[in-house]
Amino acid sequence: MKTDTIFYSLFQSFPGIFFELINQPLAEANAYEFTSREVKQLAFRLDGLFLPTTNDVEKPFYVVEVQFQPDEDLYYRLFGELFLYLRQYKPRSPWRVVVIYPHRDVERNQSLQFSEILALNRVRRIYLNELGDAAENSLGVGVVKLVIESEEAAVEQAKRLIEQARQQITDEATKRELIDLIETIIVYKLPKKSREEIEAMLNLSELKQTRVYQEALEEGKQEGKQEGKQEGKLEAIPRMLRLGLTLEIIAQSLDLPLELVQQTAQQYSDELD
């Protein structure tokens, strides 16, 4: 299962879940954006970054790593990327690292080089099978823990979470998005089952025919069209670069943030190297 993709999609759509995982107030998510940043020097990319959106220098930025397979090089890579990022971007916020494991057996400590760093309050390791009451009491944490449930337990857990979402979430678009994410996790866990079979197992068939669900679905399609427009703009950037236009002119012409144009131009340059 593409666990990193699932988690990053989850944090992108529902950033509050991350802050629940690290025992921070849910409202903290309002002061952050979830993104990725390239460390140009060695073509590293930090895929999971929660960056403060305010000028409060006491708010840390979070580097998030999801690791579901043993990796002897994880901490070498993670801290190497972190300190190169610090050198390149010189952020004004203190750093924090959060590593999410399914259980402790996956972790490779590398205590010879990293024991002191791992002992810092700046580093948090989360083991999903040890979440305990947090997964029972929180809808978001329960969705995260669903990833590691057995196939048998996952279906019943998914049903409970879907019902919980229907009761607790008032915004229909948000409710639809979370239910779709729960369904996607089950699709990954049960690859031999069709989407229709899984909808029946989760009692979703009737729900998806309701007016409010269809309206929320249509709203999501409209948002997708807008995202598609931006995708088309990004594809135009390399062509405009070849015409000799500056990044500033490209950003102004396409009505895109200059930083986004710079990132896309750098990716295009890297592909040519």
What tens-digit pLDDT sequence spans the chain (273 residues)? Answer: 457 778 888 888 889 999 999 999 989 999 999 988 776 655 566 778 999 998 888 999 999 999 999 999 999 999 999 999 999 889 999 999 999 999 999 999 888 899 999 999 999 999 999 998 777 788 989 999 998 998 889 999 999 999 999 899 888 888 888 888 898 888 888 888 887 888 888 888 666 665 655 655 565 555 555 555 667 677 777 766 665 566 776 776 677 787 788 888 777 666 655
- Whether residues 14 and 95 fall in one domain: yes
Same structural domain, 1 and 133: yes
The last residue of one of the domains, among 100, 115, 146, is: 146
Overall domain count for the chain: 2
Does residue 202 share a domain with residue 113?
no
Residue recorded with tokens 């944490």: 141
In a domain, 250, yes or no: no
Contacts for 264 with CB less than 8 Å, ≥ 6 apart: 234, 237, 238
Is 34 a member of any domain?
yes
Hey, which residues does 123 pair with through a beta bridge?
Answer: 97
Asked whether residue 59 falls in the same domain as residue 100, the answer is yes
Q: Residue 220 domain-assigned?
A: no
Whether residues 9 and 104 fall in one domain = yes
- pTM for the predicted model, two decimal places: 0.71
Strand order in the sheet with 44-52: 32-39, 44-52, 61-66, 95-101, 123-127
Residues 6+ positions from 35 with CB-CB distance below 8 Å: 49, 51
Last residue of a domain, one of 127, 146, 165: 146
Burial of 224 (0-12, 13-18, 19+ CB in 10 A): exposed
* Domain residue limits at 168: 149-209
Query: Of the candidates 101, 117, 146, which is a domain's last residue?
Result: 146
Query: 84 and 115 in one domain?
Result: yes
